[in-house]
Structure 1
Amino acid sequence: MPPLALCNSPLCGKYCLLHRRGGSGWTAYRLRIHCGSARWRSGRSIAVIRSLGRAENAMQLEQARIDVLANNLANANSVGFKQVLMRTIQPQAPVAENGRIRVPAGGNLNAPMLRQAVDTRPGPMQSTGRDTDIAIMSRGFFVVKTPDGDRYTRAGSFAVDDQKRLIVPGGGLVLGDSGPIDLGEGNFALSSDGSITVDGQAAGRLRIVDFPDATALQRQGANLFSAENMEPVTVPPAEIAVAQGHVEGSNVSPVETLIAMIQAQRAFEVQSKVLTTEDQMLDKSVNTMSRVGRG
């Protein structure tokens, strides 16, 4: 018999799903242990196991969707928050390369995956009257220096530290074209192109950057993003539009998000019922075969 490879199916311990490679490709079997011997069973038992796996994968997908939607909804009033959008990616067929089977990205040949992306659409402008609040009305992100490297945000609710530098609430330094922005003791003013003046004297310019694909930014908490495998591109001053005394609100629609959560919860419940039904059928099949084996 050809070598067997145990799969990583997280189903119950009454059975295990195996794959055997034959002349027509890979075939799934259920290996049942009875009276010290291993017997191959296929047909209905395999169909039930596959249905269990599909239902379980669907439940995991819907739970992940619910978690993301719940986080979006919780940040509906957070300054500069960008909601996460989700898209279901259908499984791809394995590809033969040099006599070997290459599994598509994700490692699962059968289960759909949930792909997440940052929704970069702007949120509504909100007037605050605070000099250190800044809203970006064009494309781009503020650059924040942190101990873990540069981070990027649209949340412009800034403050001033004890050294009179512009910072985000967590303490990261907001960067200008020449480094941290020192506001000194004077009156701070900001032009629409990001130019900064203190008591009428030029004090630098906000650094605003953008990315080839901003939807691929990784959320790092505190409304900050990191850019993996992407280099930021400085937005030219002529293309910058900022407003002092304003912040950008969250781009989450509470009503739409709540509706999506209800739909995902219902889908989860449907798959849960399928899983319960198929599990009962499998128990019945196992018990029947066990009685036949003893007979």
Structure 2
Amino acid sequence: MTSALQIARSGLDALDQRMKAISNNLANVSTTGFKRDRAAFVTMMYEDPRQAGAPAGADNRYATGLGTGTGVRVAGTERIHAQGSLINTDNALDVAIEGDGFFTIALPDGTEAFSRDGSFKLNAEGELVTNSGLRVQPAIAIPQGARSITIAPDGTVSAVLPGQAQPVEAGQLQIARFLNPAGLAPQGDNLYRETAASGPAQQGAPGQDGAGTLRQGALESSNVSTVQELVEMIETQRAYEINAKVISAAEDMSRTIIQNT
């Protein structure tokens, strides 16, 4: 049979996981495009020595069962992909997604990752890259000597070259969407990888088939609310203290039983 000590310990373990998620949220409150995590709790197996409706003798049956819970565990951490507020930067290479979707990024091993961080730069070849130097997909190269760069809401990238009045189109940014974005696996550097839970990436032009549109000269801030996280942190701390007191009380009860037997 599961003891009160084991049940309370499961509560401490689960609350510790929740505090880790809250701590990570607060640490990334200023990270571009960051999505907050939320710990999801589920009950553990119940011990049912007597079930509701079991025979109680003659023609009688128990109206209620005799079930005892065995604790709690964290089923997982759910990522909340709510839109973060947009911050104007007036930088021509900063791009924010308004709505659903991710930028596609090429990794050194030839695979793809996905990101909401649109703080792009130009490498030595004039290609759009992330802060870590990873190329944006599809590859877009800005002609050398371009005087100005324009990124339209539909992802069209154009540049004005010296001596020319009309802009030259350099390519079009694409948006990747997923049936279950919460199933993407975070990789660090503001990148996510596709998983079996997220489903395959659905590539398309911004603003089409439910994909978000782009805003040049802006970045999406983290969707973490400092006030909300602090409230949840206090709540978690209080619950942790209560579970610790349960352990102390259970130890005292066990000691008393041992001394009196």
TM-score, L = length of structure 1: 0.71
Specify which of 189, 193, 198 is matched with residue 150 of structure 2: 189
Amino acid at match of 1:112: V
Over residues 198-220 of structure 1, what are the superposed CA-to-partner deviations in whole Å (9 max), with x where a residue is unaligned?
22112111121110011121211
Aligned to 2:137: 175
Specify which of 174, 190, 195 is matched with residue 228 of structure 1: 195
Over residues 227-255 of structure 1, what are the superposed CA-to-partner deviations in whole Å (9 max), with x where a residue is unaligned?
21120011344424101110011101100
SS at match of 1:197: strand
Shift of 1:287: 5.6
Aligned to 2:19: 66
Unaligned runs of 5+ in 1: 1-27, 29-48, 95-108, 290-295
Amino acid at match of 1:64: Q
Quick one: distance in 1 between partners of 2:35 and 2:249? Answer: 40
Quick one: distance in 2 between partners of 1:52 and 1:221? Answer: 37
2:246 maps to 1:278? no
Quick one: distance in 1 between partners of 2:202 and 2:45? Answer: 34
Paired residues for 1:110-259 under 5 Å: 110-114=70-74, 115-147=76-108, 149-176=111-138, 180-185=139-144, 186=146, 187-199=148-160, 200-229=167-196, 230-239=199-208, 240-259=212-231
Q: Pick closer, same or farther for the CA change 1:74–1:276 going to 2, 3 Å.
A: same
Quick one: distance in 2 between partners of 1:111 and 1:72? Answer: 26
Specify which of 80, 89, 93 is matched with residue 42 of structure 2: 89
Quick one: distance in 2 between partners of 1:269 and 1:280? Answer: 17
Specify which of 224, 230, 238 is matched with residue 266 of structure 1: 238
Quick one: distance in 1 between partners of 2:12 and 2:105? Answer: 38
SS at match of 1:279: helix
8 Å contact 1:140–1:235 — kept in the other structure?
Answer: no
Q: Pick closer, same or farther for the CA change 1:164–1:93 going to 2, 3 Å.
A: farther
8 Å contact 2:17–2:39 — kept in the other structure?
Answer: no
Aligned identity (percent) is 27
TM-score, L = length of structure 2: 0.80
Quick one: distance in 2 between partners of 1:174 and 1:93? Answer: 50
Aligned to 2:29: 76
8 Å contact 2:155–2:205 — kept in the other structure?
Answer: no
SS at match of 1:132: coil
Unaligned runs of 5+ in 2: 48-68, 161-166
Q: Pick closer, same or farther for the CA change 1:111–1:163 going to 2, 3 Å.
A: farther
Quick one: distance in 2 between partners of 1:197 and 1:92? Answer: 59
Q: How many residues align?
A: 225
